[in-house]
Copies of this chain bind each other. A is one copy, B any other.
Amino acid sequence: MDFKSIVAVVGEDFAAVDTFIADSLRSQVPLVNEVGQYIVQGGGKRLRPLVCLLAARACGHREGDDHIRVAGIIELLHTATLLHDDVVDDSGLRRGRATANARWDNPTAVLVGDYLISKAFQLVVSLRNITVMDIMAHGTCVIAEGEVLQLINQRDPATTEARYMEVIYGKTAKLFECAAESGASLGNTALQPAFAAYARHLGAAFQIIDDVLDYTSSADVMGKNVGDDLAEGKPTLPLIQAMKLAEPTDAELIREAIRTGGLEHLEQILELVRSSGALDYTMARAKEESDLALAALADVPASPYRKALEDLTRLALARNS
């Protein structure tokens, strides 16, 4: 199945999530509406809500629209973190469009992000579902810790693969996990741990691929600049592994680039990341994570929803943007 066919498995629900998000963003304060709409319409693939919907359906959830609400809340939380991430990283471009901090300013992006977090909190509470509340409440703490941990690692060439994995678990995998776990909790709760594990590994694979693409893709395809991570001194897995594999003087060049940030040695470092075998290693780690994701679904009864989640995992690994 390609992405379109996967979406089609929960087609109506997927469209309903967008309506729910648009309705939720209506505020009395015009700037909140404007920025909220701008960011949410900026799009992205809505992967996290998709995972949530498929998990809910795969677990037999059939009644009502709580799965749509939960999926929408997940996307609102994701949007809030994007707003703040772009402030923190001083990013100007996301998905081919100006970021909110670039189009408006940092104060607007910080405060509208706060509004989205609060709104998500309010919507979670309005579900009156204590399991979902616990998942989201714990999840947002882990995500926030992951973001702070990423900040600590920044410009630190001593960052290990273990610390890198801790960061991507927090900043990316956890929200995927929340999406699948809360979706699953609406149906057969015995399957919750399987879906949590599935999405945790899917999210990790997704982020590792993201970090590879930062060195291999192009601005046209990605909608953001190549080498952004290097420019910000972020020690992602391709760099961590290249430092291990490269000759000492080359490794020192990478260490220095992480310490200082900037793109002065981009071409040389791109070449080192490729020639050292660091990219192959990183791709293999992503493959391991996606295999673990698939394995987690082993005991889940077969269904078009499970099949869609499996295919989504393969697509996430093969993507180029």
Contact = CB atoms under 8 A, between A and B. Distances in A.
Interface in A129-156: 130, 133-134, 136-138, 140-141, 143-145, 147-149, 151-152
Interface stretch (A109-117, A183-191, A221-229, A256-264): A109-117
A268 interface: no
Contacts of A117: 114, 117-118, 140, 144
A249 to B, nearest CB: 32
Given A114-B117, A151-B108, A145 B28 contact: yes
Contacts of A112: 148
A118 B144 contact: yes
Nearest to A138: B122
Given A27-B145, A145-B32, A122 B110 contact: no
A140 B121 contact: yes
Contacts of A106: 87-88, 106
A83 B30 CA distance: 24
A162 interface: no
Contacts of A78: none
B115 A31 contact: no
Nearest to A140: B118
A118 B147 contact: no
Interface in A155-201: none
B125 A29 contact: no
Interface residues of A, number: 45
Contacts of A137: 118, 121-122, 124-126
Number of copies: 2
A107 interface: yes
A285 interface: no
A31 B151 contact: yes
A23 to B, nearest CB: 14
Contact of A29 (B30, B111, B145): B145
Contacts of A31: 148, 151-152
Nearest to A108: B151
Contacts of A45: none
A30 B87 CA distance: 22
Contacts of A114: 81, 84, 113, 117, 144, 147
Given A106-B87, A144-B114, A128 B130 contact: yes
Question: Which of A32, A111, A138 counts the most chain B CB atoms within 10 A?
Answer: A111
What are the 10 closest A-B residue pairs judged by CB atoms, nearest first?
Answer: A115-B144, A118-B140, A122-B137, A88-B107, A125-B137, A118-B141, A125-B133, A114-B144, A118-B144, A111-B147
16 contacts: A29-B145, A29-B152, A30-B152, A88-B106, A89-B107, A111-B151, A114-B117, A115-B141, A115-B147, A118-B137, A118-B140, A118-B144, A119-B144, A121-B136, A121-B140, A126-B137
